[in-house]
Amino acid sequence: MEKMQQVVGRARAAFRSGRSRPLEFRIQQLKALQRMVQEKEKEILAALKADLNKCGYNAYSHEILGVLGELALTIEKLPSWAAPQPVKKNLLTMRDEAYIGYEPLGVVLVIGAWNYPFVLVMQPLIGAIAAGNAVVVKPSEVSENTARLVAELLPQYLDKELYPVVTGGVPETTELLTQRFDHILYTGNTAVGKIVMAAAAKHLTPVTLELGGKSPCYIDKDCDLAVACRRITWGKYMNCGQTCIAPDYILCDPSIQSKVVENIKATLKEFYGEDVKSSPDYERIVNQRHFKRVKSLLEGQKIAHGGETDEASCFIAPTILTDVSPESKVMEEEIFGPVLPIVPVKSVEEAIELINGREKPLALYVFSNNKQLIKRVISETSSGGVTGNDVIMHFFLSTLPFGGVGHSGMGAYHGKHSFETFSHRRACLIKDLKMESTNKMRYPPGSQKKVDWAKFFLLKRFNKARIGLFVLALLGVVAAVMIK
């Protein structure tokens, strides 16, 4: 407990010194982080290989590329993001200065996830630094090699007091959550998300929770199945299915179920060859506990493809389940593994009803040649994000906020949305001490005449360019004289 108090206390003292606030300092730290990623690329790739069996190409494209892109965007755009944002004014404030100022929240906590252990720590960290905060970084202990590397590298490149790294498991995280933070961003499962939110509530700390859920994928009969299944296969089986926005299950008409299976099988062969286990592009389940959990989901199911497992290497082959009941065990929880159930539905109406009967997912996918059908599914359901005729790709567009809704999370980040998540939008109005007579309508004693003038100034809509400030000022003087 004492160690955590010291870490957070030093970060708060560093924040209160004011050194994280200047724009120049923030950009300097972001450039240092950029240099770290570039200079330590080999070490990062090696850690990801050790934790998740990610080959260099996949590790770079899944994790490093996204971090470098986020850094480049933030460094370029930060001056405009952080600039005061002028707002429209009413007649009573025409002569005043009114704007939204972005100020840092203070000391924030970023708790990363094990499935993408580098990018899911670095992207929130980038936004928090950009906003001018001190940041306590807690990488996931499950991906121990990447966690150890992050703890080793960050102090070499960033301000040690402002951006400390805390490693360890549940006891360390539990102690950390007893400390007071000004914002917490957590990526992980819903059960732990509830624990984080409960701990934050004791200090009235706002949270961003990036959780998960069962992200549905509806395939319409009017669809290019070969293309759809290739994109679904890529999104489902990348990182061995351990992606929070992977398509969790497929909804389709029974008449196309066998075609979907055949197309996915063909794509798996195209992606990973005849022997998936020996493919350098196919990852592994992170540990024995998760291996046993995912394997247990196969019990009692109709396996149309795959199903092979090897506990020693935490290997589970890409697996397709057919004719899955919505009430079966595999449909109860987020799979987070390379198992793809297909649930037959007879219509888009039935698909929508099934989706809406469950907790709101982090992502939703629809494949159809009919754009109106895609829009209908979007309008009649709710999810953190949605992609039509593809999967996962909304995550990579930094202008879109990434986040959940309901049980899949709250709040969002990426790009400017990260900066705003870790900033306080401060309402600022600066007046002068002149024209005091125009204020008489708000001072006691009250009268109907004052109310009428207040209604005129506050409710009337004028074209500022047409009427001019001179006329507005004149109206103010007239009102003051009339009230007097």
Collapsing DSSP to helix, strand or coil, 306 comes out as coil
pLDDT digits (tens, 9 = 90+) for 72-122: 999 999 999 999 999 999 888 888 999 999 999 999 999 999 999 999 999
Buried b (16+ CB within 10 A) or exposed e, 109-148: bbbbbbbbbbbbbbbbbbbbbbbbbbbbbbbbbbbbbbbb
Bridging pattern class, strands 97-104 and 423-430: antiparallel
- C-alpha 324/C-alpha 343 separation (Å) is 5
Burial of 269 (0-12, 13-18, 19+ CB in 10 A): exposed
The model's pTM is 0.92
DSSP designation for 63? I
Check pLDDT > 70 for residue 440: yes
Alpha-carbon dihedral 360, 365, 371, 372, rounded to 10 degrees: -20
pLDDT digits (tens, 9 = 90+) for 308-361: 999 999 999 999 999 999 999 999 999 999 999 999 999 999 999 999 999 999
Lowest-confidence region among 79-83, 353-357, 381-385, 450-454: 450-454
Query: Which pLDDT belongs to residue 436?
Result: 86
Q: Under a CB-based contact definition with an 8 Å cutoff, are residues 262 and 356 in contact?
A: no
Check pLDDT > 90 for residue 454: no
Tell me the residue ranges of DSSP E strands in 123-162.
134-138
Lowest-confidence region among 26-35, 68-77, 282-291, 439-448: 439-448
Q: Nearest Cα to 156, choosing from 43, 49, 67, 9? A: 43
Check pLDDT > 90 for residue 418: yes
Tell me the residue ranges of DSSP E strands in 266-403.
302-305, 309-310, 315-316, 319-322, 339-344, 363-367, 385-388
Check pLDDT > 80 for residue 362: yes
- C-alpha 327/C-alpha 331 separation (Å) is 6
Mean pLDDT, rounded, for 156-169: 97
- C-alpha 238/C-alpha 135 separation (Å) is 30
Order of strands across the sheet with 97-104? 85-86, 97-104, 423-430
pLDDT digits (tens, 9 = 90+) for 26-62: 999 999 999 999 999 999 999 999 999 999 899 999 9
Q: Under a CB-based contact definition with an 8 Å cutoff, are residues 444 and 402 in contact?
A: no
Query: Which pLDDT belongs to residue 141?
Result: 95
Tokens of 143: 């991906």
Check pLDDT > 90 for residue 64: yes
Q: Under a CB-based contact definition with an 8 Å cutoff, are residues 135 and 119 in contact?
A: no
The verdict on whether omega for the bond into residue 445 sits within 30 degrees of 0, i.e. cis, is yes
* Cβ neighbours of residue 448 closer than 8 Å, sequence gap 6 or more: none
Mean of pLDDT over the chain: 94
Q: Which helix (H) or strand (E) holds 483?
A: helix 464-483
Cα dihedral sign, 191-243-284-53: negative
Check pLDDT > 70 for residue 123: yes
- C-alpha 71/C-alpha 65 separation (Å) is 10
Check pLDDT > 70 for residue 478: no
As a three-state string, the secondary structure of 250-275 is EEECHHHHHHHHHHHHHHHHHHHCCC
- C-alpha 187/C-alpha 167 separation (Å) is 16
Q: Under a CB-based contact definition with an 8 Å cutoff, are residues 366 and 378 in contact?
A: yes
Q: How far is CA 157 from the centre of its chain?
A: 25
In percent, the amount of the chain with pLDDT more than 90 equals: 87
* Cβ neighbours of residue 382 closer than 8 Å, sequence gap 6 or more: 356, 360, 405, 406
Q: Nearest Cα to 320, choosing from 445, 229, 414? A: 229
Query: Which pLDDT belongs to residue 131?
Result: 98
Order of strands across the sheet with 216-219? 302-305, 319-322, 339-344, 249-252, 216-219, 363-367, 385-388
Check pLDDT > 90 for residue 480: no
Please give the positions annotated as active site.
210, 244
Query: Which pLDDT belongs to residue 68?
Result: 97
Query: Which pLDDT belongs to residue 468?
Result: 53
Contacts 24+ apart (CB under 8 A), 467-474: 469/94, 469/95, 472/91, 472/94, 473/95, 473/435
Q: Which helix (H) or strand (E) holds 374?
A: helix 371-380
- C-alpha 44/C-alpha 65 separation (Å) is 12
Q: Under a CB-based contact definition with an 8 Å cutoff, are residues 216 and 361 in contact?
A: yes
